[in-house]
Amino acid sequence: MSAEPTVDTSPKVSDEIRRTTCYMCACRCGIDVHIKNGHIRHIEGNRDHPVNRGVLCAKGSAGVMQHLSPARLKAPLKRVGPRGSGAFEEISWGEAMALATEWLAEVRHRDPKRLAFFAGRDQSQSLTSFWAQNYGTPNYAAHGGFCSVNMAAAGIYTMGGAFWEFGQPDWERAKLFMIFGVAEDHDSNPIKMGLGRLKARGAKVIGVNPVRTGYNAIADEWIGITPGTDGLFILALVHELLRAGRVDLDYLIRYTNAPFLVIDDPDTADHGLFARDDDGKPLVRDRVTGAVAAFDAPGVKPALKGEAPGPDGRTVLPAFELMARKYLDGAYAPDMVAERCGVPAATIRRIAAELARTAFEEEIVIEQPWTDWKGERHQRMVGRPVAFHAMRGISAHSNGFQTCRTLHLLQILLGSVEVPGGFRFKPPYPKPFTAHPKPHAGSEPDQPLPGPHLGYPHGPEDLLICEDGSPWRIDKAYSWEAPLAAHGLMHMVISNAHARDPYGIDVLFMYMANMAWNSSMNTGGVIDMLTARDETGAYRIPKIIYADSYSSEMVAFADLVLPDTTYLERHDCISLLDRPICEADAAADSIRWPVVEPERPGHAGVRCFQSVLIDLGGRLGLQGFVDADGRPLYADYADYMVAHERRPGVGPLAGWRGAGEVHGRGAPNPHQLDRYIENGGFWLSEIPEEARFFKPWNKAYQDWAVSMGFFDAAQPFVFNLYLEPLRRFQLAAEGRAEPQPPDHLRQRVREAFDPLPTWYPPFGDEGAEAGGYTLHAITQRPAAMYHSWGSQNAWLRQIHGRNPLYVSGDVWREHGFEEGDWAYLSSPHGRIKVPVALMEALNPKTVWTWNAIGKREGAWALSPRAPESRQGFLLNHLIHELLPPRGDGLRWSNSDPVTGQAAWYDLRVRIEKAPPGEEIAEPHVPAQQSPVGRGPDMVKYGEGWS
Amino acid sequence: MTSLPPPSDKKLGLVIDLDTCVGCHACVVSCKSWNSSGYGAPLADLDAYGEAPVGSFLNRIHTFEAKQEGRPAQIVHFPKSCLHCEDAPCVTVCPTGASYKRQADGIVLVNEDWCIGCGLCAWACPYGAREMDQAAGVMKKCTLCVDRIYNDNLPEVDREPACVRTCPAGARHFGDLGDPDSAVSHLVAERGGIDLMPEQGTRPVNKYLPPRPKQEIGEAEPVDLVALAEPEAKGFLGWLDRALEKL
């Protein structure tokens, strides 16, 4: 044949690369956006960025389709039809801001708590919380209550930090890595990168998950555990380790409260609390002299066992002896838990042995001297190369808080936290719960709240309850229903506001949370609540303001829609005041900046929500947003990011402060954003070598943290294996401390607030077997889709445009399913019709599907015949925000009794084959009108300009 | 029909590690992004927001489930794109010469100017690795990012296919499989890399690294933990005393 054609192998790639931060999920990877001829040519990972080091996932790579989505809002919208219809008129920004200001000012002047302001998956919580605090409503939180507050709260209370944003496995040194309930989201690129590195080194990966997809598919060993039993499985591992004496005693004595003396004096108000000296310091007993001393007294050799009289003559014993008694009990023996967990006893014993062998016989050493907080010099850093990671699979249960505690117990018994090869904190963590604020509430007309909304109670005296015992907050966070609700309970806001329990509200203001669809339990019920009217014909939730970038399901239920930008059109800061992007070896933060200008030709256009919020703060005259003369302090979010100081010298961004030469603490630098942009959109400062491990106890780390502005004084602490605040709640429930819970909650508080990590059956199990709900049902997030956002993405919806219900081989055969079949899936709360598919790599008692693929017809600019709204479905319809009525007239929330976290994964179901019929998922919510029209028939990205 | 060039010394291709691939689709979408506004016609998406969206992709991930006797079922994620075969039937079947294999490096390409969209090459490919672009009417396939790997406008580190550059797990490797000393050739040798469907006689350049054997589950490794520990004579608390003496 003829000569080969000439191929241009060196075409110009782009005119410019603009480096910003991805927002296609919550990972916050750095991205290089290639701009060519004014168009986005390609988006790829930023090789210099600490989070993703150049790689990028499917979502991030599809960013251009999100940016150009036909579902983008184009102008503020005012509702003209009934709520939920989607009938809107476009209005000007002037009219929109005037309306929002009028509504918000009126409520603030009358009773600020009648505003509920909840920000969903936003990454600007240090701003949104600051705004809400200065507005003066107690009703603020973000989405943690329906996400993973159990994980965060259990980690903070136990060891001053948890997984993901608080810490990470030592990917470079771990030899055994064990993951619990981790689907393919949250920290996804770092986990994928880490798994690749572990595999390259030949490390072993054990995946614990009812479903073997993604990371579990490549795990060397897969434990297909029964949902809700992870804590029991872990305590069986603990039982084995204790039985064999395979725990790190030196670590426990030095770095945990295992030796603290617990008062054993039943029927007194301090039974179960620590014995303390006159300075309030917990006591330990010297095992050589037998004398008691403050836990941090020089030279003391603390005992771990032995009952003896304490300083006041009452019996005291080390917390560790209580732990040994509890966990050596035969109830935690592998043979006793195997059937319930769906894990053979031999497997449990073998994994315990592998953990012990790796931790203690393959210890690793870094020749790096360091000095501890007591001044003792250590010549080397000794590590236990066993690392763990966990996520929503263990936390989204009604026993999730304690289950997360059991995992931290296991990590700490092995001595594998903050050591080489184990789990490592990321600055500004570790930070003990005592260094966090306590929660605050109030509702004084035109006044700010006395302090931050969210925090960490030390005991029942810190609860946010009124004198009559009713909750301060609309979501009942920090009430006896959810005492340690560290992230609030966003999923209860609409339900409680509708029920006017504890009170009604006047304005519901939400950002970036699809509460009318996949972000609520009981989706159909929430739609009814959003549209319910009172006896006068007015909506029970009178006014709804919603801010979003896209035509989501929630938009249709708003009275006023404030259109946000896409992530490529906006400023943002991923701040150390919030949830930063730090690594175990470095502090880091980052920005977004408009790499393309927002353009919505022919429409009023969109504005960055945070700029809108700052503008509203100025119009409302909120403290912190206006100067002494009432003039706005900040022009917009970019101005706030640079100029705002939360404490002197500490602002949203830590890099290039002052004249650009100081980091951490320093005066605001008007050129700060330019420096970030020059540096690829992020700032990073490495932790000194000596400070990189043993951070809670490492003097060099503590000093560095103070110098960076994370704390104002060093705060070394020990890990709380025995969590005294829980015991304080128990004492109240036992009637020995004030305030006391209402009688109907006493028993629950006594059981769930065990100061030692424990396990109890998920509440969803109650009556499930007897009712025929023999299966568990869960969702997982796919790697290539994030919440609702992906369905408008022409590329991603071709990967996940529909979601079958996956059933195990046992269930498939039992019901005689065949390919293409549909089934009815029922829970105590409802029934849905769904397509089914066979999956053998699945816990036999579990069914599951991908999360948030199903869509309401008319949303997201999709065709009415889109598979997302015909074959896609939500499990949410089967999950109620309340437990089934118990006949006591009370509303029992379907959540963890400690934190209030939504117990999504407690769901129990039964399945039956559906007769042949129309292949449309049920329930089919009637269509909403689209305020943005529909997407084009064809996408040919690149045509005409590439 | 089109003839193949004499075998090249340089055989550029991919090595894909099935032990590490988590099936995340990062490679699929990065490929789509790079190539839609890159080489040749855009990779069109028909009915993009409708009932049956269908677009051209040069790389897709297939997921298989293997039920194994005595072990838990296994999921394997299997990325698939053109394997740049040495005996590429898609080339020899092409009636216009549009489909060709480059003499210098073995990359199989389609010259879209000559492609008449007859689809014979897609029928001939035993791997289903070619897709007709429904909008442009030309055949699309993996170019091994020929417009990246030699591109002087990119930093040297980025001169690799988009799918390799983006793979978070590091499951994709690019290099010269004709060079026995290349990193990819070593990887294939160490890990027992395999040809896909060798019975087809296509001699694919791309190689797959098979999943490593997984742990046997169950009674395979009975361990008496107590035997590893101190004598249990006085129970746990007795052991504790002795252990603490050593601290």
- Taking an 8 Å cut-off on Cβ atoms, the answer to whether A58 and B28 are in contact is yes
DSSP code string of A111-154: -GGGEEEEE-S-S-HHHHHHHHHHHT-S-EE-GGGGTTHHHHHH
Residue among B1, B16, B25 with most chain A CBs within 10 A, to mutate: B25
Q: Which residues of B touch A253 (CB under 8 A)?
A: 247
pLDDT at residue B228 greater than cutoff 60 = no
Which of A193, A214, A941 is facing B37, going by the closest CB pair? A941
- Taking an 8 Å cut-off on Cβ atoms, the answer to whether B48 and A866 are in contact is no
pLDDT at residue B214 greater than cutoff 80 = no
Tell me, yes or no, if A538 comes closer than 8 A to chain B by beta carbon.
Answer: no
Which of B75, B212, B228 is facing A213, going by the closest CB pair? B75
Which of B41, B46, B103 is facing A4, going by the closest CB pair? B103
Which of A9, A62, A217 is facing B147, going by the closest CB pair? A9
Residues 6 or more apart whose CB falls under 8 angstroms from that of B142 comprise B31, B58, B59, B81, B82, B84, B129
Burial class (CB in 10 A: 0-12, 13-18, 19+), A601: exposed
**Separation in Å, CA A510 to CA A112, A116, A143:** 16, 8, 11
pLDDT at residue B231 greater than cutoff 70 = no
**Shortest Cα–Cα distance, A937 to chain B (Å):** 5
Tell me, yes or no, if A53 comes closer than 8 A to chain B by beta carbon.
Answer: no
| pLDDT < 70 regions, chain A | 1-2
**Torsion angle, alpha carbons of A882, A888, A890, A892, to 10:** -30
How confident is the model over A279-321, as pLDDT tens digits? 999 999 999 999 999 999 989 999 999 999 999 999 999 999 9
**Shortest Cα–Cα distance, A796 to chain B (Å):** 8
Taking CA–CA distances from A343, the nearest residue in chain B reads B218
Q: Which residues of B touch A840 (CB under 8 A)?
A: 65, 67, 73
**Shortest Cα–Cα distance, B75 to chain A (Å):** 5
DSSP code string of A561-622: EEEPPPTTS--EEE-TTSS---BTTEEEEEEE--SS----TTS-----HHHHHHHHHHHHT-
What residues of chain A, 301 to 330, have a C-beta less than 8 Å from chain B?
301, 303-305, 321, 324, 328
Taking CA–CA distances from B247, the nearest residue in chain A reads A250
Output phi, psi for B212, to 5 deg.
-70, 155
- Taking an 8 Å cut-off on Cβ atoms, the answer to whether A192 and B72 are in contact is no
**Separation in Å, CA A741 to CA A138, A314, A470, A736, B63:** 21, 28, 11, 11, 52
- Taking an 8 Å cut-off on Cβ atoms, the answer to whether A942 and B247 are in contact is no
Q: Which residues of B touch A357 (CB under 8 A)?
A: 228
**Shortest Cα–Cα distance, A903 to chain B (Å):** 27
**Six-digit token pair at A639?**
């101005």
A-B contacts (CB, under 8 Å): 307
**Shortest Cα–Cα distance, B144 to chain A (Å):** 11
Which of A58, A305, A942 is facing B24, going by the closest CB pair? A58
SS3 of B4-20 = CCCCCCCCEEEEEECCC
- Taking an 8 Å cut-off on Cβ atoms, the answer to whether B25 and A799 are in contact is yes
Which of A12, A224, A934 is facing B153, going by the closest CB pair? A12
Tell me, yes or no, if A862 comes closer than 8 A to chain B by beta carbon.
Answer: yes
Taking CA–CA distances from A237, the nearest residue in chain B reads B225
- Taking an 8 Å cut-off on Cβ atoms, the answer to whether B24 and A861 are in contact is no
Tell me, yes or no, if A58 comes closer than 8 A to chain B by beta carbon.
Answer: yes
**Shortest Cα–Cα distance, B19 to chain A (Å):** 6
- Taking an 8 Å cut-off on Cβ atoms, the answer to whether A245 and B247 are in contact is no
**Shortest Cα–Cα distance, B200 to chain A (Å):** 25
- Whole-angstrom distance, CA of residue A928 vs CA of residue A790: 19
For residue A179, the cross-strand partners are: A207, A389
Residue among A939, A943, A945, A946 with most chain B CBs within 10 A, to mutate: A939
Q: Which residues of B touch A61 (CB under 8 A)?
A: 26, 29-30, 32-33, 166
- Taking an 8 Å cut-off on Cβ atoms, the answer to whether A57 and B146 are in contact is no
Taking CA–CA distances from A189, the nearest residue in chain B reads B168
How confident is the model over A886-944, as pLDDT tens digits? 888 888 889 999 999 999 999 999 999 999 999 999 999 999 999 999 999 999 999 99
Among the listed ranges A23-32, A431-440, B164-173, B229-238, which one has the minimum average pLDDT value?
B229-238
pLDDT at residue B232 greater than cutoff 70 = no
Tell me, yes or no, if A75 comes closer than 8 A to chain B by beta carbon.
Answer: no
What residues of chain A, 161 to 220, have a C-beta less than 8 Å from chain B?
184, 188-189, 192-193, 195-197, 199-200, 204, 212-220
Q: Which residues of A touch B109 (CB under 8 A)?
A: 7
**Shortest Cα–Cα distance, B74 to chain A (Å):** 6
- Taking an 8 Å cut-off on Cβ atoms, the answer to whether B20 and A196 are in contact is yes
Residues 6 or more apart whose CB falls under 8 angstroms from that of A23 comprise A123, A567, A572, A592
Residue among B164, B240, B245 with most chain A CBs within 10 A, to mutate: B240
φ/ψ region of A787 (left if φ > 0, alpha if ψ in -120 to 50, else beta) reads left
**Separation in Å, CA A106 to CA A29, A487, A533, A815:** 41, 27, 21, 59
pLDDT at residue B233 greater than cutoff 50 = no
**Shortest Cα–Cα distance, A350 to chain B (Å):** 6
Q: Which residues of B touch A41 (CB under 8 A)?
A: 37
Give me the pLDDT at residue B201, please.
96
Among candidate residues B82, B117, B84, the one with its CA nearest the CA of residue B5: B84
